[in-house]
C-alpha cells in the first residue's frame, strides 16, 4: 500500500493534503508517513518469522527522534556509527542491549560512551580499534562485547561510493586477518566474542551478492567453530534497495527465504540492519517553484530546496521521481529542476519530463526519506528545513525549521 497517493488530482500523505501542510509549515520540508515506516518494519519481522533474529535499524538513514521512537516502540534495535547516533537512540528509548556499533573510526570517547551504556556489541573493523576497545575496557573494569566485521571481497553491483564489501574499500577485515583477530580476542580477559559481521553495500537490487557474501562468512564461522570459537550473532548488515524509478529490488520475504535456506540449521541469531528499505519510500521533500527560466536550449524550474537539503542527486547522480503536488492537466516538457545554491551541481533532475507548472507550484521529490535530512548541511548559510510526520489525518512538526540565529549558534568573534 502506498500512503502517498493522489486524490482528485492532489497529493496526500496518508489522509492529509500535502498542500495543507505546506500552508502551515512553509517550504521546503521533509514529510514522513508513520504508517509506511511501520509497514516496512513489520514486513521484515514477518519475513523473519521462525528465525532467531534482531532487526537493528540503520540510524544513518534517518535519525529523527520521532522516527527512532516509532521504530523502537515496534521492537526494533539500532545500528549506529557514531556517539551522536548512540545519544539519539537512547533518547528515543531504544535499549542499548539492542544496539550494534559499526564504523571504522570510533573515537576513544565514543567507545567509552558505548561501554558505559552497555551496548549489544561493537562491530570491530581493525586491530587498532580492537586494542583501543580492550584497553578502555580494562581501565573501566568491563568486558567489551565484540564482533568482527569481515570484508568478503564481494562486488555488490551498486554505486562505487556506497560499495563497502570489496577488498579496496576501507571497511572490515580480510578473512585471514579476521582469523587472527578472533584468536587474539579469545585470549583476552577484557573481550567477549559475540558475533561476526558483514556489510557489502547499499541500494542492492539483486540477492546474489548477499548470498555470496553469506556463504563466505559461514565458511569462516565453521572454521572458527573448529578452533573452539562459537558465534552467537551473525550480522549481515543492511543494503536492500528500494524503487526510485524502475528498479525491482527483492522483497524482505525473498531475502529472508534466501538467508534461511543458506543458514540451514545453524544455532545462530541473525542481525539485519535495514535503513533505506525502512524509511526511503516513507518520505518526500516538498519544495516550491520560485521561478521558471527559459534559455535557448534549456527550461529550468528554480525551486526553494537545494543540494544542501537533498544531496543524493548531485553526489550520486541519483534519480528521484518528482511530481506536482497539485496536477493541473498541462502537457509535460523537459525541465532541469535546480536550487538556489551557487553550484552547477545543485540540481534534482536534468531534462526531466514534468508537467509545465508555474511559479508558486509545489513539487514533491519522492523516495527522500533515507539519506535526505541526515546528509543535509548549512552550505550557503541555508537553515536546514523542517521535518514533519503524518499518521491518518493528523500531522506534526517533528523537527522545527532552523532559524538564522541557529546558523551562528556557538560562533564567536576572534579577540586575539
Question: Cα 101 from chain centroid?
Answer: 14
Q: Grid coordinates representing 33?
A: 508517513
Quick check: 285 and 131 in contact, CB under 8 A? Answer: no
CA-to-CA separations, 11 to 286, 342, 382, in angstroms, rounded: 11, 31, 27
* Crossing angle between the packed helical segments 108-117 and 83-91, to the nearest 10 degrees: 30
Nearest to 250 by CA among 192, 306, 297, 206: 206
Q: Under 8 Å CB-to-CB from 269, ≥6 apart: which residues?
A: 52, 53, 54, 232, 233, 234
Per the DSSP assignment, residues forming a β-bridge with 166 are: none
Quick check: 385 and 305 in contact, CB under 8 A? Answer: yes
Quick check: 98 and 53 in contact, CB under 8 A? Answer: no
Q: How many CA atoms lie within 13 A of 383 on its CB side?
A: 17
Distance CA 37, CA 105 (A): 30
Nearest to 274 by CA among 297, 255, 248: 255
Catalytic (active site) residue 56: no
Q: Catalytic pick from 13, 190, 198, 342?
A: 342
Residues annotated as part of the active site: 342
Amino acid at each position: 500500500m502506498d500512503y502517498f497517493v493522489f486524490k482528485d488530482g492532489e497529493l496526500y500523505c496518508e489522509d492529509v493534503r500535502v498542500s495543507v501542510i505546506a500552508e502551515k509549515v512553509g517550504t521546503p520540508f521533509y514529510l514522513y508517513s508513520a504508517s509506511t515506516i511501520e509497514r516496512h518494519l513489520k514486513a521484515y519481522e514477518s519475513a523473519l518469522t521462525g528465525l532467531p533474529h534482531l532487526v537493528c535499524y540503520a540510524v544513518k538513514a534517518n535519525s529523527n527522534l520521532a522516527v527512532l521512537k516509532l521504530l523502537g516502540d515496534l521492537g526494533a534495535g539500532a545500528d549506529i556509527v557514531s556517539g551522536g547516533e548512540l545519544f539519539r537512540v537512547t533518547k528515543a528509548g531504544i535499549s542499548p542491549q539492542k544496539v550494534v556499533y559499526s564504523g571504522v573510526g570510533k573515537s576513544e570517547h565514543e567507545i567509552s560512551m558505548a561501554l558505559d551504556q552497555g551496548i549489544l556489541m561493537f562491530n570491530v573493523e581493525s586491530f587498532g580499534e580492537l586494542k583501543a576497545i580492550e584497553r578502555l575496557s580494562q581501565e573501566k573494569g568491563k568486558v567489551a562485547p565484540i564482533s568482527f566485521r569481515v570484508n568478503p571481497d564481494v562486488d555488490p553491483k551498486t554505486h562505487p561510493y556506497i560499495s563497502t564489501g570489496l577488498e579496496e574499500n576501507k571497511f572490515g577485515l580480510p578473512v585471514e586477518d579476521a582469523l587472527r583477530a578472533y584468536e587474539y580476542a579469545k585470549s583476552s580477559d577484557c573481550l567477549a566474542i559475540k558475533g561476526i559481521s558483514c556489510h557489502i553495500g547499499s541500494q542492492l537490487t539483486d540477492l546474489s551478492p548477499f548470498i555470496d557474501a553469506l556463504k563466505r562468512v559461514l565458511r569462516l564461522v565453521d572454521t572458527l567453530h573448529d578452533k573452539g570459537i562459537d558465534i552467537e550473532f551473525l550480522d549481515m548488515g543492511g543494503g536492500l534497495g528500494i524503487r526510485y524509478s524502475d528498479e525491482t529490488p527483492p522483497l524482505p520475504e525473498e531475502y529472508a527465504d534466501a538467508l534461511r535456506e543458506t543458514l540451514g540449521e545453524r544455532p545462530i541469531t541473525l542481525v539485519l540492519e535495514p535503513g533505506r528499505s525502512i524509511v526511503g519510500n516513507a518520505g518526500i521533500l516538498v519544495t516550491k517553484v520560485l521561478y521558471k527560466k527559459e534559455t535557448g536550449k534549456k527550461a529550468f524550474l528554480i525551486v526553494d530546496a537545494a543540494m544542501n537539503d537533498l544531496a543524493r542527486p548531485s553526489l550520486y547522480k541519483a534519480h528521484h521521481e518528482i511530481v506536482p503536488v497539485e496536477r493541473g492537466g498541462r502537457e509535460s516538457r523537459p525541465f532541469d529542476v535546480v536550487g538556489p545554491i551557487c553550484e552547477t551541481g545543485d540540481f534534482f533532475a536534468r531534462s526531466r519530463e514534468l508537467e509545465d507548472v508555474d511559479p508558486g507550484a509545489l513539487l514533491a521529490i519522492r523516495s527522500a526519506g533515507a539519506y535526505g535530512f541526515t546528509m543535509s548541511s548549512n552550505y550557503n548559510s541555508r537553515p536546514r528545513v523542517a521535518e514533519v510526520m503524518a499518521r491518518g489525518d493528523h500531522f506534526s512538526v517533528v523537527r522545527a525549521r532552523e532559524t538564522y540565529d541557529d546558523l551562528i549558534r556557538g560562533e564567536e568573534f576572534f579577540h586575539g
